[in-house]
């Protein structure tokens, strides 16, 4: 496994990030533990979760599964760079309660304590703001974070789903207050969705943030979905089905799969490998439901994409171009 720096921190992390969203809802606890063991053995050491994962009545379930894995010992916790998130309402389902969500100082403090308990650890390496909070002053957020850092309960803070201007505002406020600021941004970014290249990634690079793309396969659409449909009768649903119903989207995906079939490459592995070539990217999040899916993702790290292939991929999924030129009429 190749390693890199997590933004402007001293942390060394693998070029892939283990996403745990499926642990609980789709992958049971024993299999989740097997996947985490396999990921760590392969050199993946940044594990990403969120307090809300588990969803519905099971909010917090994913953190609990990870905590039980840490409790097995074997230096598991010491070897992992642990990242979790705060924002979603953690009150009982159907009964949202004020101050149980978003980024108020009270909820940040409450969320950290609850996550530490579920995760069976005494510190979180990377505590991430899951979404922008339009109601809470940035000064209040940093006040809460600084106290938690002083207490040793978190080490770094990061953002998720922040636009470029919010990254700038948040870090400029941190600078004014003497706080360390954000060290990472977790954003939607993949071959088929490249708008992050306009503002988010330039802002992250300017402020020294590591970029951690989520949905690297664009909800499975970049994983060879058309071929899987035709060969295995696999049906799609939800957003994927809606996207495939769009003729222009389907045309691009067909061209993508045809291109990689010509080169003898697996679409999902190429989508991950492409992200690893992008400036500013620390590592994409992979969310395997099985060990076989993890093995496929690991092959992407060793995949060397030629300049010719990168150019052909740009032809199918062109980016917006460099900023600020991308904003020109």
> Catalytic residue positions?
53
How many whole angstroms separate alpha carbon 138 and alpha carbon 130?
14
Cis geometry, peptide bond prior to residue 324 (ω within 30 degrees of 0): yes
Asked whether the beta carbons of 297 and 272 are under 8 A apart, the reply is: yes
Parallel/antiparallel/unpaired status of strands 17-19 and 154-160:
unpaired
Between CA 68 and CA 228, with CA 33 as vertex, the angle to 5 degrees is 145
* Exposure string over 299-310, b if 16+ CB within 10 A, otherwise e: ebbeeebeeebe
DSSP string, 94-145: T---TTSSTT-HHHHHHHHHHHHHHHT-S-EEEEEE-S--SSS-HHHHHHHH
Dihedral sign, Cα of residue 131, residue 137, residue 142, residue 145: negative
CA dihedral of 281, 286, 291, 295, whole degrees rounded to 10 = -30
Please check whether residue 82 is in contact with residue 50, taking contact to mean a CB–CB distance below 8 angstroms: no
Question: CA 253 to CA 296: how far, in whole Å?
Answer: 20
């Amino acid at each position: 496994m190749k390693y890199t720096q997590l933004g402007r921190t001293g942390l060394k992390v693998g070029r892939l990030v283990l996403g745990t969203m499926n642990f609980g809802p789709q992958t049971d606890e024993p299999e989740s533990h097997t996947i985490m063991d396999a990921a760590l053995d392969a050199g993946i050491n940044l594990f990403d979760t969120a307090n809300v994962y588990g969803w519905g009545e099971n909010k917090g379930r994913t953190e609990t599964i990870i905590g039980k894995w840490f409790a097995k010992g074997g230096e598991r916790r010491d070897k992992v760079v642990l990242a979790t998130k705060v924002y979603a309402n953690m009150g009982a389902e159907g009964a949202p309660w004020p101050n149980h969500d978003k980024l108020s100082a009270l909820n940040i403090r409450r969320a950290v304590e609850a996550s530490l308990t579920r995760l069976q650890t005494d510190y979180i390496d990377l505590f991430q703001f899951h979404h922008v909070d339009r109601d809470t002053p940035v000064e209040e957020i940093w006040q809460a974070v600084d106290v938690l850092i002083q207490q040793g309960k978190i080490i770094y803070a990061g953002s998720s789903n922040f636009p470029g201007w919010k990254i700038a505002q948040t870090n400029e406020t941190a600078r004014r207050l003497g706080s360390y600021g954000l060290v990472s941004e977790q954003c939607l970014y993949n071959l088929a969705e490249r708008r992050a290249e306009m503002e988010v990634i330039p802002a992250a690079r300017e402020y020294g943030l590591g970029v951690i793309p989520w949905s690297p396969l664009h909800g499975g659409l970049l994983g060879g979905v058309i071929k899987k449909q035709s060969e295995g009768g696999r049906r799609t649903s939800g957003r994927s089905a809606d996207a495939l119903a769009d003729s222009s989207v389907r045309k691009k995906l067909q061209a993508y799969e045809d291109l990689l079939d010509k080169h003898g490459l697996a679409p999902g592995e190429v989508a991950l490998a492409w992200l690893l070539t992008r400036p500013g990217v620390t590592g994409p999040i992979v969310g395997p439901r099985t060990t076989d899916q993890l093995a496929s993702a690991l092959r992407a790290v060793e995949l060397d994409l030629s300049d010719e292939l990168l150019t052909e991929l740009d032809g199918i999924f062109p980016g917006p171009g460099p900023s600020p030129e991308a904003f020109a009429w």
